[in-house]
């Protein structure tokens, strides 16, 4: 099992025994933990087309790969704390992890956390689109040799 | 607010602030983003979620009469309670919940004008308290279909050439898009609009601060530009009947349309059904695309 999955499992476990209200409170804690954009990304926000079209409230995402390691940098409008919290969870799962594992985020994270029932079908579908976007974003940023890291890790 | 046709359906944030501990009033929040209520709500407000609480989770329909009674009872709402709804996104979901309360015949419903946005702009307080009320007794009648249109009613209405208002974005109306701008494609197989429908995007009904536009502005938008008539039987629709709940509210209460219904099946039903009539193309203000406005007599065309 890769380290991204281990981190995700830990997050899923955090959520699992909570009632609906507590799950949303924990999601808000994650939302509040999302670091504000640095100066560099503030200016890149203006010059690059990084807005996620799947989200009505402005969401800007950078899924990046440096030396084979993934990171997720994002800005989400404060009026969308659910999206903000979910993006923060994805960032916590993949930051500093091998890109080859980070591009394989499962699309049923919300179901596993028990948040799908709290949020309902349509909201869950919208958030799932973000998972796809992060996976694709990392895949696009990966160099040919980055793809081997994950394989090496699994066979170690 | 006073000059709307039925001004009593709207209350101001100030009114709500003065009625926080009024036992005859229940304040209800309904949002697009569910975590907002948890983050902070009006003191004493309960949350009723449009998706998880008001929709049946198996069949595509609203909850049953019995489940609506249970929902009200759990939230301490009695038949004579004044239910004041508010929420995010210009009260879009609050209007949706308002419509469902009316569908089950709740007598006294209001919308807090401006919703969460106006409350925040007014610098009023948010509470994160867990809110719980003693269960109440609630009995609901069967659904009131004088405000709800089902697919076959809409088809008959369309064939009879009666007025329809499509409240989606111009791109969804024309068929360029199968979903709201910036929202995921939620799976309509065909794009376009119901033949004969005029296009008045819902968001034009509200001001920057989330409050409804003035009666004069709304009359210009719907009666003059939209070419709709107060006395004509009118059906509003959008994608899943959410945005059109707000338009329904505006037409029925703020402008006093005598017979207006919401088609909750909306484009997600129409655009997926076999053999439904569909038209594509951009709208001409006040006229469906397939029916041109009359050419002025002093035409300069060659």
| pLDDT of A154 strictly over 50 | no
- Beta strand A97-98 with A69-76 is antiparallel
Structural domains for chain B: 7-121 (3.40.250.10), 151-270 (3.40.250.10)
Chain A positions in Cβ-Cβ contact with residue B36 (cut-off 8 Å): 79, 81
Do B35 and A53 make contact, defined as CB atoms within 8 angstroms?
A: no
Closest CA to B169 of B89, B243, B90: B243
Using CA atoms of B118, B121, B127, B132 in order, give the dihedral in degrees to the nearest 10. Answer: -10
User: How confident is the model over B131-150, as pLDDT tens digits?
Assistant: 999 999 999 999 999 999 99
> Which residues of chain A neighbour B33 with C-beta distances below 8 Å?
57, 79-83
Contact B36 A81 (CB under 8 A): yes
A81 touches B at CB < 8 Å: yes
pLDDT at B2 over 90: no
Rounded CA-CA distance B269/B284 in Å is: 25
pLDDT at residue A37 is higher than 50: yes
Span A107-132, pLDDT tens digits:
899 999 999 999 998 889 889 889 98
pTM: 0.91
Q: Which two tokens stand for residue B116?
A: 């969460």
Alpha-carbon gap: B178 to the closest alpha carbon of chain A (Å)? 13
Q: Write out the two tokens for A154.
A: 């699994």
ipTM score of the complex? Answer: 0.88
- Least confidently predicted of A22-26, A132-136, B48-52: A132-136
User: Does residue B72 carry a catalytic annotation?
Assistant: no
| Burial label, B36 (beta-carbon count in 10 A; 0-12, 13-18, 19+) | buried
pLDDT per residue as tens digits for the range B19-42: 999 999 999 999 999 999 999 999
The candidate with the shortest Cα–Cα distance to B164, out of B288, B292, B5, is: B288
Residues from chain B that touch A123, judged by Cβ atoms under 8 A, are: 34, 51
By Cβ distance, the residue of A27, A57, A120 closest to B52 is A120
The whole-angstrom distance between B36's CA and the closest CA on chain A is: 7
Instruction: Calculate the average pLDDT of chain A.
Output: 89
Domains and CATH numbers, chain A: 3-155 (3.90.1010.10)
Residues of B in contact with A125 (CB under 8 A): 184, 186
């Amino acid at each position: 099992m890769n380290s991204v999955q281990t981190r995700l499992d830990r997050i899923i476990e955090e959520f699992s025994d909570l009632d609906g209200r507590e799950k949303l409170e924990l999601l808000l804690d994650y939302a509040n933990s999302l670091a504000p954009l640095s100066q560099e990304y503030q200016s890149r926000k203006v010059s690059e087309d990084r807005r996620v079209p799947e989200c009505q409230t402005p969401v800007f995402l950078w899924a990046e790969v440096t030396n084979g390691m993934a990171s997720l940098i994002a800005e989400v409008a404060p009026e969308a704390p659910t999206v903000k919290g979910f993006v923060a969870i994805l960032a916590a799962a993949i930051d500093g992890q091998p890109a080859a594992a980070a591009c394989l985020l499962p699309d049923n994270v919300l179901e596993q956390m028990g948040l799908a029932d709290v949020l309902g079908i349509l909201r869950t579908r919208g958030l799932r689109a973000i998972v796809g976007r992060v996976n694709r974003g990392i895949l696009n940023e990966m160099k040919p040799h980055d793809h081997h890291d994950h394989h090496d890790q699994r066979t170690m | 607010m006073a000059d709307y046709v039925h001004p009593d359906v709207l209350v101001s944030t100030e009114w709500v602030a003065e009625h926080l501990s009024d036992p005859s009033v229940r304040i209800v929040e309904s949002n697009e983003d569910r975590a907002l209520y948890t983050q902070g709500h009006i003191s004493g407000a309960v949350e009723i979620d449009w998706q998880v609480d008001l929709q049946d989770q198996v069949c595509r329909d609203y909850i049953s009469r019995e489940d609506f009674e249970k929902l009200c009872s759990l939230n301490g709402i009695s038949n004579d309670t004044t239910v004041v709804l508010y929420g995010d996104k210009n009260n879009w979901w609050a209007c949706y919940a308002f419509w469902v309360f009316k569908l089950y015949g709740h007598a006294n419903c209001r919308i807090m004008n401006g919703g969460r946005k106006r409350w925040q702009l007014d610098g009023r307080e948010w509470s994160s308290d867990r809110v719980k009320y003693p269960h109440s007794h609630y009995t609901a009648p069967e659904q009131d279909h004088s405000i709800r249109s089902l697919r076959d009613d809409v088809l008959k209405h369309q064939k009879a050439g009666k007025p329809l208002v499509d409240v989606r974005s111009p791109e969804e109306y024309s068929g360029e898009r199968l979903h709201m701008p910036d929202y995921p494609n939620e799976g309509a197989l065909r794009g376009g609009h119901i033949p004969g429908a005029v296009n008045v995007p819902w968001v034009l009904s509200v001001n920057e601060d989330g409050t409804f536009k003035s009666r004069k502005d709304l009359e210009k938008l719907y009666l003059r530009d939209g070419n709709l008539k107060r006395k004509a039987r009118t059906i509003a629709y959008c994608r899943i009947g959410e945005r059109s709940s707000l338009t329904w509210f505006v037409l029925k209460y703020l402008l006093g349309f005598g017979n207006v219904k919401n088609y909750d099946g909306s484009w997600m039903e129409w655009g997926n059904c076999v053999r439904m009539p569909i038209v594509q193309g951009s709208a001409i203000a006040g006229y469906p695309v397939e029916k041109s406005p009359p050419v002025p007599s002093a035409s300069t065309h060659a």
